[in-house]
């Protein structure tokens, strides 16, 4: 397995878990920020879905096999699922999202900085990194 395929499978797993967590926040957000955050979490999980698809398809283009089951996602992901067993504030949901986005950004950076990742794959990573940097900045301002 090439370094690119390995990294992209780690990203696929992390994005899969993140996608579910963002849905969870979308479902459970409450309070005076409900309308804005309900919409924002939907925007974010839609974006994550597109990235997950693009990255998994790149694995196929590189003759690899993308991880594709919940079990594989949970096994490979450094982002951990967070069962909604106790109520979370909107602030805590956004703070958790910022931390998860930082995890994704670090994975993206590792691929961008690697000499063993092909240029087309790096281009995908760079595009995603710009988006995560902006989200981290904007959501970070919300929880500041």
Domains, the chain = 3-143 (1.20.1260.10)
Instruction: Classify residue 80 as left (phi > 0), alpha (psi -120 to 50) or beta.
Output: beta
pTM of the model: 0.95
Q: What was the pLDDT predicted at 82?
A: 86
Sole residue written with tokens 């957000």:
29
pLDDT > 80? residue 1:
no
Q: Calculate mean pLDDT across residues 129-142.
A: 98
CB 1 within 8 A of CB 58: no
- Where residue 24 falls among pLDDT bands split at 50, 70, 90? very high
Q: Calculate mean pLDDT across residues 76-97.
A: 93
Q: What was the pLDDT predicted at 133?
A: 98
Q: What was the pLDDT predicted at 128?
A: 98
C-alpha span between 14 and 107 (Å, rounded): 9
Residue 22 burial by CB count (10 A; 0-12/13-18/19+): exposed, middle or buried? buried
- Where residue 96 falls among pLDDT bands split at 50, 70, 90? very high
| CA proximity to 3, closest of 124, 120, 123, 111 | 111
pLDDT > 90? residue 120:
yes
């Amino acid at each position: 397995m090439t370094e690119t395929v390995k990294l992209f499978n780690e990203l696929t797993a992390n994005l899969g878990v993140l996608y579910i967590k963002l849905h969870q926040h979308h479902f459970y957000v409450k309070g005076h920020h409900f309308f804005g955050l309900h919409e924002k979490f939907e925007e974010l999980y839609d974006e994550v879905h597109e990235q997950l698809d693009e990255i998994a398809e790149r694995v196929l283009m590189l003759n690899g096999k993308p991880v594709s089951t919940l079990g594989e996602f949970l096994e490979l992901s450094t982002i951990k699922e967070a069962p909604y067993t106790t109520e979370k504030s909107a602030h805590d949901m956004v703070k958790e999202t910022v931390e998860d986005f930082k995890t994704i950004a670090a994975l993206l950076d590792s691929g961008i900085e690697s000499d063993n990742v092909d240029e087309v794959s790096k281009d995908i990573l760079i595009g995603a990194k710009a988006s995560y940097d902006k989200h981290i900045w904007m959501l970070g301002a919300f929880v500041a």
